[in-house]
Chains A and B, each alone.
Chain A
């Protein structure tokens, strides 16, 4: 659906809601009439629906009068121009002096979007003391609108994102949301006035009487008014909120029409999503303004969603840019490549890689630099060794969570056809046949990527799954997959390493010690804390695997193994290989043993592994996977996560 169609659809829904609102008001009128007349009949007066008695008529008139008066007072409140309102919240006019270069940019962007939307430029105000991210338009009359932006928004958004946010606010102006919103507000003010008068009547009457329970006419009328008022206010609020949500979608669609840049809009929403721990606005008037804001803060619980003024951010992103996750990744990759290329052009090819790293956001020295490094370096190596930009094919072929899940399972399919069939059968048993067919399809769809770009694939698949699948379900899926691998005997070292990598990327906790120890009796011993020297065999196992992953010839491996083992123990252990049977169980046990050691020891070990990996100046993909596995299994990857 393009943005023009979307606008048409949203407008139609808005009209429906407005009709609903009018019907509700009409219904309120009828209800008042019926209730009052019924009451007067009960009191024995000569009254009918067509010809109410004098007192009943008076009461009905009173109710209507209250409603109009309430609405009128609300109107007086909102009639003043937006500038008055903005100043009341402490906003100041945006300045175009160079000292406020961000505000100069803001003014420029406003001028641009005013041209794009063919609307007059509103006055621009900034809440300089407001660190939360938000924007709003104020004012009820054409030509007196004011656009208010918080300092937080000015600081957080890039130029294109700022454009999108401003365009969203212009969307509200262009679609005439403000007068509509004000009219709804006035109608609601009338309904609230009924409630308020009822409350006053009850309060007055009960004060003036001695008996606790009273049926004084004033109290009865008071309760009546309160009942009518609350029903009206509730219905009015519901409709107004639903209306407001539609208008938000409409403003988003209009913003895309003005900027023709849906990605920037989605990025801006994403920025907001990542700041949702902050309050909507720190100021006092947040509740009053919520319908006018760019965003309404965190996702409300389900029972409050009917009263939410804004749709959930994820829904808004999906509406304007369904493949946002995929496209953002592509964009970032392209940017990184361009920056790397530019840096290389400027500074010469020899330090190009370093510039690339610096750009990647990791504040570390180049790989070939000194020997002192934090474990955070791993990420840098990963960037360097990893496939770099993901191929567009993967991004297009695996857009949603179900295909990503299938791709995840396809990662473990063996190249040998018989073993692959066994694996697929196990998948059918564990999940279902349709899923197995999907996995099969994926396996045939991207054979090259599965073989040569596993890391890239894992990266993409896990990022999609993390954002779309709940943590509990991710854990279940992983457990099932692990069982399938164990049952089919596919749990080779590489598969195991991949699985651990996936586990960490999916942000699923390492399995609890008891669950493993319960199944395998020998592992129960592993929980005992051993002295540093007594863990020689565990270190030997891990080190030999680490050394082996570099893929050098056996003689080189032996020498290297001896060199690194000397750092840990005097005892000479034989070098182990990944091809031995039962090595996975032993590895698991070794992890359990080391995991309960003090953290500095584990960190030192992981760092040592890092140095081993970099020793020969080349980081193979297997080495990187294994290093990630070690760090994850030993709980030393938190720096990287941060």
Chain B
């Protein structure tokens, strides 16, 4: 009888350790996912000045467009720093989203203007920069997607039986899916990260 109860106790303890460790792994994974978004945004801000410099050599008459891009980039970079210092502040995140939206607009205009400069489009340095920029934008999108995926995994693992017992006992809280309550802000976030 005592062997039986001992076996059961061991099984329960092993299972508890397994589920606890699993939850910790998943939690760390989604936290890491969140930081990746931030890293990639910064990478993008660093690339844009290079792009503008290269473009300047070819498009002398489009200084308005170029300075608009630089300006938008600087604002976005600043609000990104502010937001990453305190990610919980919805106001700062909203400001970042708006700045990102303006930057996207300016970049879109730049791309449109660049259509008129075939030599610029064929420039090898420009091509490399374009590739880097595309890649970075993909990374931002993927980072966000990986974040939602890992949050979903974590939440599912947390709510399933018997992990839910461990989760409540050790207060593993439900993670948010990167959504902002206010509709206007939600829209802005879409622009910035999509």
Report A's interface with B, CB cutoff 8 A.
98, 101, 104-105, 108-109, 111-113, 115-118, 159, 163, 257-258, 260, 346
Contacts and interface: CB of A to CB of B under 8 A. Distances in A.
A108 B132 contact: yes
A117 B125 CA distance: 30
A348 B131 CA distance: 29
B127 interface: yes
Contact of B139 (A101, A112, A118): A112
Contacts of A105: 131, 135
Interface in B116-151: 116, 124-125, 127-128, 131-132, 134-135, 138-139, 142-143, 145-146, 149-150
Contact of B142 (A98, A104, A258): A258
A118 B124 CA distance: 32
A159 B134 CA distance: 10
A109 B135 CA distance: 7
Contacts of B128: 98, 101, 104
Given A116-B145, A117-B146, A118-B32, A111 B127 contact: no
Nearest to A345: B115
Given A115-B40, A118-B29, A108 B131 contact: yes
B127 to A, nearest CB: 7
A260 B135 contact: no
Nearest to A257: B149
B4 to A, nearest CB: 27
Contacts of B138: 112, 163
Contacts of A258: 142, 146
Contacts of B139: 111-112, 115
Contacts of B29: 118
B145 A260 contact: yes
Nearest to B135: A108
Interface in B155-187: none
Contacts of A112: 135, 138-139, 142
A501 to B, nearest CB: 39
A346 B117 CA distance: 11
A256 B186 CA distance: 26
Given A111-B139, A112-B142, A115-B142, A101 B36 contact: no
Given A98-B124, A115-B40, A104 B131 contact: yes
A111 B135 contact: yes
Interface string B103-117: 000000000000110
Contacts of A98: 124-125, 128
Interface of B: 29, 32-33, 36, 40, 115-116, 124-125, 127-128, 131-132, 134-135, 138-139, 142-143, 145-146, 149-150
Given A101-B127, A118-B29, A257-B149, 20 more contacts: A98-B124, A101-B128, A104-B128, A104-B131, A105-B135, A108-B132, A109-B135, A111-B135, A111-B139, A112-B135, A112-B139, A112-B142, A115-B40, A115-B139, A115-B143, A115-B146, A118-B32, A159-B134, A258-B142, A258-B146
A471 B166 CA distance: 61
Contacts of B142: 112-113, 115-116, 258
B7 to A, nearest CB: 23
User: Which of B124, B134, B135 has the most chain A CB atoms inside 10 A of its CB?
Assistant: B135
Q: Is the interface of B mostly helix, strand, loop or mixed?
A: helix
Nearest to B131: A105
A116 B124 contact: no
A507 B44 CA distance: 51
User: Which of A111, A116, A117, A163 has the most chain B CB atoms inside 10 A of its CB?
Assistant: A116
B135 A118 contact: no
Contacts of B131: 101, 104-105, 108
A261 to B, nearest CB: 11
Contacts of B135: 105, 108-109, 111-112
B87 to A, nearest CB: 18
Given A101-B131, A111-B139, A258-B142, A118 B40 contact: no
Contact of B150 (A104, A118, A159): A118
Contacts of A104: 128, 131
A117 B138 CA distance: 13
A116 B146 contact: yes
A108 B146 CA distance: 17
Nearest to A105: B131
A258 B36 CA distance: 15
Contacts of B150: 118
Nearest to A110: B135
Contacts of A108: 131-132, 134-135
A346 B124 contact: no
Contacts of B132: 108
B29 to A, nearest CB: 6
Contacts of A113: 142
A109 B134 CA distance: 10
B145 A118 contact: no
B115 A346 contact: yes
A108 B132 CA distance: 7
Contacts of B127: 101
A109 B143 CA distance: 13
A93 to B, nearest CB: 19
9 shortest A-B CB distances, which residue pairs? Answer: A116-B142, A108-B135, A112-B138, A115-B142, A115-B143, A118-B146, A112-B139, A116-B146, A115-B139
A159 B130 CA distance: 13
A346 B33 CA distance: 42
A260 B148 CA distance: 13
A461 to B, nearest CB: 37
Contacts of B145: 116, 260
Contacts of B125: 98
B150 to A, nearest CB: 6
A118 B33 contact: yes
A628 to B, nearest CB: 37
Contacts of B146: 115-118, 258
Contacts of A109: 135
Nearest to B138: A112
Contacts of A260: 145
B109 to A, nearest CB: 15
Contacts of B33: 118
Nearest to B115: A346
Contacts of A118: 29, 32-33, 146, 150
Nearest to A259: B142
A346 B40 CA distance: 34
A115 B131 CA distance: 17
Nearest to B137: A112
A111 B139 CA distance: 8
Nearest to A4: B152
User: Which of A111, A118, A258 has the most chain B CB atoms inside 10 A of its CB?
Assistant: A118
Contacts of B124: 98, 101
Contacts of B40: 115
A421 to B, nearest CB: 55
Contacts of B134: 108, 159
Contacts of A159: 134
A115 B134 CA distance: 15
Nearest to B132: A108
A346 B36 CA distance: 39
A116 B116 CA distance: 35
B5 to A, nearest CB: 30
